[in-house]
Chains A and B, each alone.
Chain A
Amino acid sequence: MMFWHRIKAINLWKRRPVQILAAISLLLLSGCAIKLFMPNGSWHYEESHKFEPGDSTQMTAVYSGIGLKPGVYYIELEYAAEYDVAKPVAYTNLQDETVITGGLRTNGEHLYAGANKSGYHMWLYESTEDLQMAVAYGGSGRLEITGYTITETNQFWTMWAVVILFGALVVFCILAYYYYDKEYTVAMEKKQVFFFVTLISLIASLPYLYGSNLSGIDLTYHLLRIEGVKDGFLSGQLPLRIEPEWLFGHGYAAAVFYCNSLLYFPGILRLLGFTVTASYNIYCIAITVATAWIAWYCFRKMFDSINVGIMCSALYTLSTFRIYKLVNTGAVGEGSAVAFMPLVLYGMWRIFTENSKDKKYKTAWLPVAVGYAGLMQTHVLTCEITAFVTLLVCAICVKKVLCRNTFLELAKGALGAVGVSLWFLVPFLDFYLTQNVHIKNLSARTIQSKGMTLAHLAFHFWKNGSYTPNGETGVFDTHPVGVGFVLVLGLGVFAALGFCGAFRGVRGAVKQLGVMSFALGALLLYMSTNDFPWDVVRSMNSVTAALVSSLEFPHRVLGWGSLFLVTVCGFCLWYFMHHNRRHYLAAVTVTVACVITSGLYLIDFVTEGWNRVVVYNEEGMGFGFISDGEYLIEGTDAGRLTFTGALAGEGVTIEDYKKQYLKVSMRCENSKGADSFVELPLLFYRGYNAVDLNTGDRLGVRAGENNVVRVLVPAGFSGNVEVKFVSPIYWRISEIVSAALVIMFLIGKTIRRVRAEKYIGAPHFPGRA
């Protein structure tokens, strides 16, 4: 009997605890639903407060005595401000001494001269009668607060509905497991796997259980990406191409270059009412859990051992590199990519070691395709490094590559990955080839001195550190950019065993895996150090210069380095398991001790030593941070971009100007005899269209001053104009192709499963032919 049949057979819905759970959940959900259908209130108040220039103030209550019930509200402060610099004039936030600690959650928002309203979200967990709206004025520029609008949203109840649903699901799963185990007895091995992989996930997720974020150097950038997804969805983009609110509402095409398909999950959580910090933490926990399970799955398959799979999962999930990337720096893309790398390794191992005439060999391409697709859609740079590693493996196994079936599987893997990621690749290549973005002009960056020293390899007790390794500071207070001593120890043990001839009697796919991992792991370790001639590689030609420059830090290769070294450790464990039980137990003990004293140690110190930030609403972190501005059109001065309105060229008058995300509508008139223009607060990327709504005619769109969208207004023109970003048709086709491939894959998988279930579950009649 198959799993689902068994679940059906235990009649879960007839069990009293399940019925109680369902009743309570439904009751609570109904409460949320009723609240969702009730009309939302909105309150507007007008009263003028003037701030005198030169007289800066601390947080001063401008409106007080505001009474509200618990909920998520959108606060809009209305004002008139003038300031000749692209900086905020003031800052506003809410304060309330009467609610419980943590009962009012918001980071407030800045007031900008180019805008007449500043809005932000606020979470209120207790009714209040004395909410105050306060303003801190910088003392420069003119500022007059004119009023406020508070709008109730549904997000409080959608958020609770999700929490209730999730809680009910967890309790339901526990109950289902309890009854299932009682009825059929779940195998101890399965329990063991679940227990340990969950434990590994929990330990690796600890940094996200602090209710705040560690302020890693990349954190703001990735939080803005998540906010970009949320705002992009609200602006009607699916899939997201241009984050509309980034760069003070000018729109930044990060999504075209840096795929954020996995970030749709935290983006949706944001839409459902979770705070920025909570959404980010939930995502990071999810990706950590996924990493632990994917690693376990791949290593278990490669070593054909549950226990070695668990140990490798622990070594990989709690590896120094992963913690450094995901926790220390908040590099969500690279940290997420780590989850997919074991799939590529497992896929390549299958392709190169399985018997190509076996029936199951025809599915060997799948892990490669899924792994590569995941890499492309999380971190292109890691994907490039993976491609480099794949080329190395293919070069070593060139004889096998030339076999028809093997080549076919490799090609299927590559095509599958490209096909599934086509929706991202087409716009990416389109913009990369046709737009002069800043990232194409970064080949001057050198990385020679940013590598590790050999001493870093022996580091075990990593702490957060203050510096990325560089030639000047050496090992002094560096970030944890190594692999950890345990992996280097594994490399040493492998070398010692090989030197002693211990592997002579070992044959087969696992040995090939071990030897290959040893060689490539050692090479990548070497590449991550200062001793590797990066400058020489860079000076070879323009392609290597661009590649080396885009690498930014040699330690980026340690992602794959760590994976290969974990594989080497796994091989040593596997070898001991089969040849010497005492050695195996000793190796397991050492591994566990090392993981605790290195991985857990690092997590403990990172979470203690770094500044913690709590971001509730996106406005709390601003809209301007773009890291190195890689996806700006070359020559754009991001410092000059701020909230502003439309700028009319000579002879042009603008009326009814309205901007919502990336869509601008206005009434425009050119009374002069010559062509003129209107410049809009939108960063110019190919794809912006301007249409005369009265006639349907298109107006010309060019890059204007500082690369903003400039709409050409012909002489004598008068009409309603709408400007918005429209994805080209071939982008849309690529999306359809990707979606079709995913659907086909899922249907195929389902059909195969149903067939297999039918085959296994078919009644068996003994004696019948």
Chain B
Amino acid sequence: MREYTDNRKKKTELLLYIVVCCVTMVPVASGRIMDGGVIGEWISRIYELSVELQSGHFLLFPSKEAIIEAGMPVFAMNSNLWFLLPAIIYWGLENVTICWQIYMILIQAGTLITSILMFHRLFKRETERICIFFGVIFYMTCPYRIYVCYDLASMSSAVVWLLIPLYVWAAAGITTHGKLKNAAAAALALAGIGYADIVQMLVIAGITVLAALWFRKPLLLASIAAGGLIALPGILRLGRYLFGDTFGALGIPLNSIMESGYVLGEFFSVFVYREGHPGTGLGVLSALVIGLWLCFVKGQWGKNRKNSFFIALSVLLLIFSLKAFPWDFVQRLGVWALKMIPLFRTPAMFFGFAQIGLCVPAACAVGKISRQEEKALAIGLPLMVLAACIALCIYQCNELMSTRLPL
């Protein structure tokens, strides 16, 4: 009987995962690439790579001409590795829209799988099943992820968001099991991130150092080193830019990024995509409110090292994402910093990472409320959170599609 119930639960979960994954694919179903964001950057990469592949070459990094033509030199440090598949598809079909659709479907499905892996490792499979489920839902419907995939339309960042859960899965494995194969997986995932977006890889490496200190697991540092080694071509390219004059002709900007940071109110935005500043999302926000309520009113928020880490990390990253954070001072640390900070493009990137961190305590809060004695709270609130996540994701995808012209 218990086995039957478990099977039913698993099936329901799977069904809901598929529903959520489909919801995040709604813009793909429009059959059009929405104009705007950085689509010019990856389209020019795909074109160039496809042409090169036809002549039997593989360009790991885009050519100077392609970078200048795309008009986005700030992405010049990113490799073409993750554009190999779209380039092959484009070579075969010669239709960039279908190429984008296939790639986005793969990214969404891949992200679903990696996020399931991540939350299965962060929470106990038997007792925290609901946390795992909600963690995946929060991650998949995260407004910043949807923004990255469709509004900013950055293929590189979408891949980063696919690989981060894989990296966290492996890194969490190091902290709990400490096995070498986890370190190898983490290194590979980190390198994968590095080949997608070298700057984001560096940020994640920095976060990993913090995690290594917090959990006192030096093996995490080894995974960073190994990951860095695998992503060496990208790191070397970045090094040559930061410490030399190699890429002067590309015209990579040296601007201040402070102005494009978040203001406090934008953290709580629910319905609106502000220019490059999506909010926290109703699902995660309401789950966090539930968590605060449990903690402040009911006194039921026990101390948990993992939760504390993710909360502290998120707060730190949120501070970094603020307009008021003095990135200009950081830029004055040296020529390398002056060149490095503009590669972030915007402090909003840190807001995105903070959102990943917040998914963990939010999922934990829903898990706790579902264990309340009062049935109305235990069932009603998680259902409301789930509805909020899915409804808001659909709403935001609809808004995006209805306000953006097709390419």
Contact = CB atoms under 8 A, between A and B. Distances in A.
Interface in B279-328: 279, 282, 289, 292-293, 296-298, 323-324, 326, 328
A206 interface: yes
A493 B288 CA distance: 32
B268 A601 contact: no
A604 interface: yes
Contacts of B328: 100-101, 103
Interface in A56-111: 100-103
A108 to B, nearest CB: 19
A211 B323 contact: yes
Given A100-B258, A101-B258, A195-B293, A604 B269 contact: yes
A209 B263 contact: yes
A213 to B, nearest CB: 12
20 contacts: A100-B256, A100-B258, A101-B258, A101-B259, A192-B297, A195-B292, A199-B289, A207-B265, A210-B263, A210-B264, A592-B384, A596-B270, A600-B270, A601-B270, A604-B269, A604-B270, A604-B279, A605-B271, A605-B272, A607-B265
Given A209-B263, A589-B380, A191 B324 contact: no
Interface in A122-153: none
Nearest to A581: B376
B274 interface: yes
A608 interface: yes
Interface of A: 100-103, 188, 191-192, 195, 199, 202-203, 206-212, 585, 589, 592-593, 596, 600-601, 604-605, 607-608
B329 interface: yes
B266 interface: yes
B309 to A, nearest CB: 22
A206 B282 CA distance: 15
A608 B265 contact: no
Contact of B297 (A188, A212, A592, A593): A188
B271 A209 contact: no
Chief secondary structure at chain B's binding surface: helix
Given A100-B328, A100-B329, A101-B328, A206 B265 contact: yes
Interface residues of B, number: 30
Contact of B264 (A209, A585, A605, A608): A209
Contact of A589 (B256, B293, B384): B384
Contact of B268 (A102, A188, A203, A589): A203
Nearest to A601: B271
Contacts of A206: 265, 268
Nearest to A191: B297
Interface in B241-283: 256, 258-259, 263-266, 268-272, 274, 279, 282
A188 B384 CA distance: 24
Nearest to A212: B263
Contacts of B263: 209-212
A121 to B, nearest CB: 20
Contacts of B323: 102, 211
A192 B292 CA distance: 11
Contacts of B293: 195
B294 to A, nearest CB: 10
A211 B329 CA distance: 21
Contacts of A101: 256, 258-259, 328
A607 B264 CA distance: 12
Nearest to B277: A608
A325 to B, nearest CB: 19
A585 B297 contact: no
A195 B293 CA distance: 7
Contacts of A188: 297-298
A191 to B, nearest CB: 4
A128 to B, nearest CB: 13
A58 to B, nearest CB: 21
A101 B292 CA distance: 34
A46 B263 CA distance: 41
B274 A209 contact: no
A207 B384 CA distance: 25
A608 B274 contact: yes
What 5 A-B pairs have minimum CB-CB distances, sorted nearest first?
A209-B265, A100-B328, A101-B258, A210-B265, A209-B264
